[in-house]
Structure 1
């Protein structure tokens, strides 16, 4: 690897060396040893080292040296871990997936086809091409694979490109793929099968997988991709000969190519593709050679370099190239000399001819190639190409060359001259990128300045990275990352809000799906350089976070361009990848903090806060990316760095949340995305993904580390009730209320095939057998059915349960299956592919329906836990009860920890973690606002996940202690709200039958909560009393130093439980009550007198049927309004206003229309204007149950007992004055508030 003067390991290595030197000098000084007689005095050296930490040495203990040495060693080891970690391909593979989706899709198709290679020159390669053609046309299926395996530079790829083009012209080519190390989309085994599948779709559309299926399998295992995307469709082909071409297998990443080659060889060995053959080229790396040799007759293995025909072909090629050169003409002797020096390597001959063509003194250049010791190999030629591209004595020019090359070999996908020029534009003097690339045409392939640059042969990249071979031209990947990280972060300064110009005047922010040709707009308005920077800045920053410049630029980016970056990535539909990138960046920063270098705690906090911001708003970003500047900011916690830096920038165009939005409780991640009860949950076997199902018919996949919503599928037709992951993580199966079984891709949540319907009614439980071959189903009708996991065919079934089967679980080895039923029993079944389900002789009985069961994974405790109104732990072998415990509520879920030491159960809204013996409560988890429905432990046991009727799933740390319930809110959902007439106070009533009074200005709780009846509520106009419905009338409460009952208004109500709303007139003389009577709504108005006395009087003056709608009095108290009507209370009897103009004016005053609350697109919205000019989505974590509006302020009562105020008064006033500032009015000075 080439040296890097800024390498992160140099500083700690120097520090460690210095401590060793200090320690050694102290030893010499103590023992008075001269270096000349050190060998004779070696014993004191050993004694000193043994006594480290025990004796004094010149005023400092040996332990002082030892401690400092240990600290230096720790610093060095951390640095080495970081340095080595970023040489691994896997990080780039994960992070570069974003870039592939941000517009550079043409790059993959270019390199996958290998177009940088030409066809063979006529009259060359005739012998090997003939052998290949005879192999293809042979009627024998053996050998199925023809492999050109040889050293670099022998022309393997040119032959592959030649035969591929010829076979394509003849119609027998299925697909071809060219591996290229370091390039996105063509460097791993995961890239091949999806590319083949897309090509097959064009060539054979009748057998090919759909684009959705291809996309669904893009993150599956290599084996699964190969079998489902390639083998399965091609197995039905009958025409022949057909052939696939894979070129440069050695350029495939080492961690995946062996798996791929094994899958390919197994396919051909089993004759699954009898009409298909494979042409393969590769260097014979040890892992590849071993598999090819072991395959025996299946593979025909040929080499080229020393083959006599190959030597002749090289000779012919040189003479052809010489014949095309202008004067001076190269002689026959020149050709023979170059032929000898090439030694069968086409790449040597090609590069030498390129040099000669571009040389001003061709004769002298050939003489140097033939006589110089530096030209005995490709390295010499490459060095000469580089020397001719730059004046090596000019340090500045040499550095410019190395910078351009560093970018080319480090970039995660090929960049163009234009993009590289832009990345290097801040450097002075300017680097002549186009000139450098042009002078390197012998080793680089490019077209126009906007075309991607390709390295012609992988040996050139290897040469540059090897310092002993490339010398002064050596290039460091860390230097490349540093250049690209700095350039990308600087490039991001070009981002602006609404980068795609989607905002329209006097209209709310648009939805993503409403924008036509969104991807085309991104390509048109976001430059390739900016797209690359947006997608890859973190990938390049991660290896060089030790550099001060990179960290400083990253901090500026966080403070100035973060929201604009989120907008671009969200518009591209890649929010989940963005979250994964940030999580990896956070991990990298945490590691750097151990080195005490330029990374700061604030950098880590930025990543944490950005991830939380995205987690809260990822569903909204999928709906409308531009709401990152509005709704997302409004409802972000005020202590978040995102809020603190960006809310002030846009505050004049945003509502205000008095008191701010509460921070999320530590130790838990709340997942919002479902719109119904979250009915089922399952971890992937590796713990990285989480699948949840819902009564709304949706299946969602989440990243467990980030909380990112990886994928969504809304079935819509029927509620999904349960879910299970396959043991290998490749698939998920869900059961639905309509009785259908659906298989999904376990990596991205896409549907796999059509649903299976076993015709047994609603599926309440599913379990996948440990060997992956079977899936057990539990039905509402009481049946247990085992089906084949691949086909859905029934293997066995039982109808012994007489009630619904609510839960199923396989034993660890899959030898038996346990079932829980509403018939109050738990049964154990022996499982056998031959005999089907066989019930064991004993079963376990409860007093009521058994909701859930769990089997202990402990090898020493053969226990089964089950729960209903009580929970039991049973001995499986003898059926005896081991433990019995009471519960405070119905238990709907139960699960053992992976180590078998803990037992987790859901009881009501709470989650309790017990000792595995059942007796000791370890801790509990409080946060759900409705019944817990399912639970699961992560495979490591460090996390748990819970789902609930509150429409959320929550990930908790398994060691987390009990969360105290908040005393500053209701403990039930807030059902009724009422503002005081001056708008300074709000009264609330919740389902826990408590009353509270809130300060609207700062959102704090003023009084309560105290016990009160659950009913609609209204403030009296004096602001000192509130009214609630009681069984005897309307009860008034005094709002003073405390809340207490006062007088009772003797209003006779037919059914107090059916009252929908009450409200006072502004003068306090009337009270209006709306109630529901036998499916019809009625509005009644009573006139009040002597309200302040002990015997107030009431008189009903209006009783009329009404439709749905708010009830309000006119500001004069003369009119009452509801459902688009108004009644004049000064008339006797009260008279309905009939004159439309008067009615419109009255309604406008009584029910101002500038502020609205509604639900649409799966969100609750606040809208301003009619038609709306502004709209703000309320995040799912604010689960709104009730709302009230007054004077431009909306109060939201939530399901978890909170009241959230949203002050839109300034924006509403702007609407009435006809001057509404655009949300995205933004200037450069706004970017960093306070700086």
Structure 2
């Protein structure tokens, strides 16, 4: 549905909006007339109570006062109507309840939701009064339709009052502990920076449209916002630089004033927590909790049951933090509140963007929220939206398809305002405006360029630079032409010497590739320059594309299109920023900064290891005084740059130095900075080092560092920073590289000794709650980086380093799944319910799910991938095993018959040539190519065989049984090579060899894991 069809909005909506923008006559807020009070006594008693606390309940007075006028109108027409009398009684009863409610301390309950409901009531009365005063030859209210209109109005007023009652009911608030709820809300880590008018909006130059510009587009969006029948979703899209964010900001501002803005999330590549999709749902939930008291109370109940709901996958976040609380309080909410999400295309992960769109546009999660979403028409976003926006529930506004003359007129108004006082001739104006086309970013960049350079260069020369540049090749982004002009002026025509140009390029590329904006002082220290003032001087010729915030000194790009330009060699030519090279240089700069800090211990001067960090008075001040902004950036983001850098092998020495001598100091500084746990773990991830063939010693050191940090951040000991040294290090296994590197440098620490310490193994690193159901199976990718597990309503893919869900399948088929197996390369998951049908989820294609086996094959009881990921084996309840190639048709399967009862476990040999299966009392080995068993069944167990596992070289096969024993077999002969191994006091459910096959570990229903020697 196009927004151009929404011009004919409802009369009562217009009346309310006239009041919001102070258009038309002032609403009457005098005390209710005696007639009104006599008819509806509840109005009079409520107004009297309101007079006792006029300031506290200011939004209520105009709404309730208006009800006296409504009473007079209704009484004049509907006095004898049974329907009206019944409605009048209901309304009066609600008003009496409200009178009692506001006698209590309800100041905190006067939220945006309450104010919007009050405005809704006013608009109903105002609309009815306008109809009454309209003369069309006979009074409208004398007609039959007039009577029906009055009754309809009373029904709507009664509905609004019921909503108001639910919002002002003190009993709701008494059910929750507000102080504890505030702690839980804060724990969701909502992004304060993403709110449309946050403090960061000034830093990145986000603001209102120039008065008089974009009026048509703003009015259309506001018309959609105030017309519930116009649909649940509106998509504003446009190419880079068409002014989407400025329009969205202006609309938010107007909705906010009208109490209609439920929440906003403005995505931004410049601010880390504003470009992560996982922050969107918790941030919206947090703001809705401010908007509506009933929602806040419903959310409190959810967080009481699952305080970590915000860490779950997107679909669980949305279900728990948005859909579930809203479902319980929908009757208390206004009918037309809006949530605005801007610049969705600026989020990091395309798959996550796709998932959040699925949720926002879902017909499964039906909520009263109406969403205004803005983005560029990126391929995946456009594909998702195209399938949803053709129906009556959605609308769109395409900025680059607007009448160009109208857009150019707006651009002219904007530019003349920005360049007021600069003597631009009309002829120059004509040329400049023509060059801007329909891109506001072109106009704003031009204005900044003229303002910056006009102080030093004659105006004719400045404008000549802009107007004399060669037109861009047809088909190219016209903003590129201006960016090239700005860079040419800075690097070619400025006359600066080569050294200064090189420094200027270093600064420019650092701004473009920074994970988050740095201050000029921090950048100077990282780049080895004298001071922030030197950075500011180097940036001066680039101020039309970069911004230096006056208050904070933070440097950022002015528009997301500029980094796009710089990182594309086709677009930026000789100015192209080779981002992998730049990230390599920034990794080195960060690690050098960490190494250069010579403080060896207790940088914040903590007095005692008995104190929790949270109890240390003034710790935040100590941190800011002890840790420079450059060191803050280096500690947080060195690993992010390393992950993006080319050939980290060039950094082998400095990385080795970091892990062997600066790791603990870095952990101390990162802990003081309250860096989130997952960032700490990621920063010690050895992955990038392993990928570039680092020496084995460094790989082992980095891997141990990763485990050391993971253990620390997931343990209560991390609540007191000194325990990095006095607990973590002394108790780390002596043989581990971290102990070897650091213990010899310490003195005065407790040094535990003895056989137990020498043999001590690592304890549990972390516990993840993945489901409220029993977890029947999990599966790891070959590199151990991803873990797949079923939850009650989805299948989740977790990052094993951080414990965060990175992808989820929410298809109906993925509910209540029992068995999962992921391919070694992590691209495909096969899953099934117990005794159900096996399905394939191709993670490369979003939520694509296909059936694995033919329709007549079900009752799946176990699943396994081959080592090369090309085939899947499924064990069935009837004793059969099926092997299916993923690239083959569902009908092309091999059937292995031999077991006579339920197949409990299947596993491929390391060379993929054989398959082992476990059933009641027996184990069988199969020749995969021939589809035949190898020899006779392996006998020896006396109950169900629950698990089978090959050693790395395929020479041995282990089995775990409900007879409480473990056996090791020769898979070629079926002879017992070891065992039966007793020790468990209950059924053995799982067994696995260690890498190399020297040890074997088994898990049992007796709640123990027993390691043992696997060799004879």
SS of match in other structure, 2:377: coil
**Aligned counterpart in structure 1 of residue 430 of structure 2, from 311, 316, 336:** 336
- Aligned residue number for residue 544 of structure 2: 442
Q: State yes or no: 1:773 paired with 2:816.
A: yes
1:453 Cα shift?
A: 3.2
Deviation at 1:153, TM superposition (A): 1.1
Once residues 623 and 467 of structure 2 are traced to their aligned partners in structure 1, the CA distance between those partners, rounded to angstroms, is 52
Aligned CA distance change for structure 1 residues 454 and 216 (closer, same or farther; 3 Å): farther
Structure 1 residue 634 corresponds to structure 2 residue 730: yes
Q: C-alpha offsets along residues 1166-1220 of structure 1, whole Å, 9 cap, x if unaligned?
A: xxxxxxxxxxxxxxxxxxxxxxxxxxxxxxxxxxxxxxxxxxxxxxxxxxxxxxx
How many Å separate the matches in 2 of 1:150 and 1:770?
36
Q: Is contact 2:649-2:689 (8 Å) kept? A: no
**In 1: Cα distance, 2:858 partner to 2:598 partner:** 55
Partner of 2:592: 490
- Distance in 2 between residues matched to 1:340 and 1:299, nearest whole Å: 34
Q: CA deviation at 1:457?
A: 1.4
Partner of 1:480: 582
Gaps of 5+ in 1: 1-99, 594-598, 675-679, 690-702, 711-722, 733-745, 750-768, 777-788, 790-811, 819-826, 831-843, 847-851, 876-880, 965-1235
1:415-438 CA-partner distances (Å, limit 9, x unpaired): 2223222212x2479982223445
**Distance of aligned partners of 1:578 and 1:136 in 2 relative to their CA distance in 1, 3 Å threshold:** closer
Partner of 1:385: 486
SS in 2 for 1:412: coil
Deviations 1:324-344 (A, max 9, x none): 546552233332222211111
Alpha-carbon deviation of 1:352?
A: 0.9
Name the structure 1 match of 2:123.
none
Structure 1 963/161 Cα, relative in aligned 2: closer, same or farther at 3 Å? Answer: farther
Residue 364 of structure 1 pairs with residue 461 of structure 2? yes
Q: How far did 1:500 drift? A: 5.7
Aligned to 2:67: none
Q: Secondary structure at the match of 1:180?
A: coil
Note closer, same or farther for the CA distance 1:280–1:217 as it changes in structure 2 (3 Å cut): same
**What is the aligned partner in structure 2 of residue 550 from structure 1?**
651
Superposition TM-score, scaled by structure 2 size: 0.59
With over 3 angstroms needed to count, the CA separation of the structure-2 counterparts of 1:863 and 1:270, relative to structure 1, is closer
Structure 1 residues 931 and 645 mapped into 2: Cα distance closer, same or farther (>3 Å)? farther
1:192 corresponds, among 269, 276, 280, to 280
Q: 1:405 aligns with which of 486, 508, 524?
A: 508
SS at match of 1:118: coil
- Structure 1 residue 399 displacement after superposition: 1.8
Q: Cα offset for 1:414?
A: 2.5
- In structure 2, the residue matched to 1:1189 is none
Maintained 8 Å contact 1:147/1:281:
yes
SS of the equivalent of 2:295 reads coil
Q: Deviations over 1:999-1038 (max 9, x none)?
A: xxxxxxxxxxxxxxxxxxxxxxxxxxxxxxxxxxxxxxxx
**Structure 2 gap ranges (5+):** 1-185, 768-772, 806-811, 820-832, 834-855, 863-875, 880-898, 909-913, 926-935
- Give 1:484 deviation, angstroms: 1.9
Report deviation, 1:884: 5.2
What does residue 170 of structure 1 align with? 258
Per the alignment, residue 692 of structure 2 pairs with 592
3-state SS in 2 of match to 1:373: coil
TM-score (normalised: structure 1)? 0.49
Q: Describe the superposition over 1:660-684 as per-residue Cα deviations: whole angstroms up to 9, x where unpaired.
A: 953678xxx753789xxxxx99586
- How far has the Cα of 1:885 moved from its partner? 2.3
Q: 1:578 to 1:249 in 2, by over 3 A?
A: closer
Change (3 A) 1:126 1:631: closer
User: Which structure 2 residues correspond to residues 5-44 of structure 1 after superposition, within 5 A?
Assistant: none
- 1:263-303 Cα distance to aligned partner (Å, 9 max, x none): 14642x56813x43222222222333233333213432332
Q: Which residue of 2 aligns with 1:753?
A: none
Q: Which structure's residues are more often helix, by fraction?
A: 2
Larger radius of gyration between Structure 1 and Structure 2: 1
Once residues 521 and 929 of structure 1 are traced to their aligned partners in structure 2, the CA distance between those partners, rounded to angstroms, is: 54
* Alpha carbons of structure 1 residues 623 and 368: separation in structure 2 relative to 1, 3 Å: closer
1:910-1059 matches, within 5 Å, as 911-914=966-969, 919-921=974-976, 935-936=989-990, 946-947=1002-1003, 962=1014
Which residue is 1:619 aligned to?
Answer: 715
Secondary structure, in 3 states, of the residue corresponding to 2:294? coil
Q: Is the 8 A contact 1:102 1:531 kept in 2?
A: no
1:260, distance to aligned residue in structure 2 (A): 3.1
2:208 maps to 119
Q: Quick check: 2:519–2:555 contact (8 Å CA) kept in 1? A: yes
Answer 1 or 2: higher relative contact order, Cα 8 Å, separation at least 6. 1
2:221 is equivalent to residue 132 of structure 1? yes
Q: Secondary structure at the match of 2:274?
A: coil
1:1054-1065 equivalence runs, <5 A: none
Deviation, structure 1 residue 389: 4.7
Which of 326, 335, 343 lines up with 1:248 in the alignment?
A: 343
Q: CA deviation at 1:462?
A: 1.1
What SS does the aligned partner of 1:280 have? strand
Say if 2:324 is the partner of 1:232: yes
Checking the alignment, whether the CA contact within 8 Å between 2:277 and 2:347 is kept in structure 1 is yes
Are the structure 2 counterparts of residues 369 and 223 from structure 1 closer, same or farther at C-alpha, using a change threshold of 3 Å? same
Partner Cα distance (1:368, 1:638) in 2: 68
CA contact under 8 A between 1:923 and 1:961: conserved in structure 2?
no
- Could you say if the C-alpha distance between residues 156 and 862 of structure 1 is closer, same or farther in structure 2, counting changes exceeding 3 Å? same
TM-superposed CA distance for 1:262, in Å, is: 4.5
Partner of 1:216: 308
Secondary structure, counterpart of 2:688 in structure 1: helix
In 2, the alpha carbon distance for the partners of 1:642 and 1:324 equals 59
CA–CA distance in 1 between the matches of 2:258 and 2:574? 48
The answer as to whether partners of 1:854 and 1:896 remain within 8 angstroms in 2 is: no
Secondary structure in 1 matching 2:450: helix
Number of aligned residues:
708
Show CA shifts across 1:864-915 (max 9, x none). Answer: 746xxxx56799xxxxx9775258xxx9993245999966327999854557
Q: Would the alpha carbon gap of residues 651 and 908 (structure 1) be closer, same or farther in structure 2, given more than 3 Å must change?
A: farther
Q: Does the CA contact (< 8 Å) of 1:249 and 1:282 recur in 2?
A: yes
Q: Which has the higher strand share?
A: 1
Matched, 1:283 2:338: no
Q: CA deviation at 1:119?
A: 1.0
Structure 1 Cα separation of the partners of residues 219 and 563 of structure 2: 32
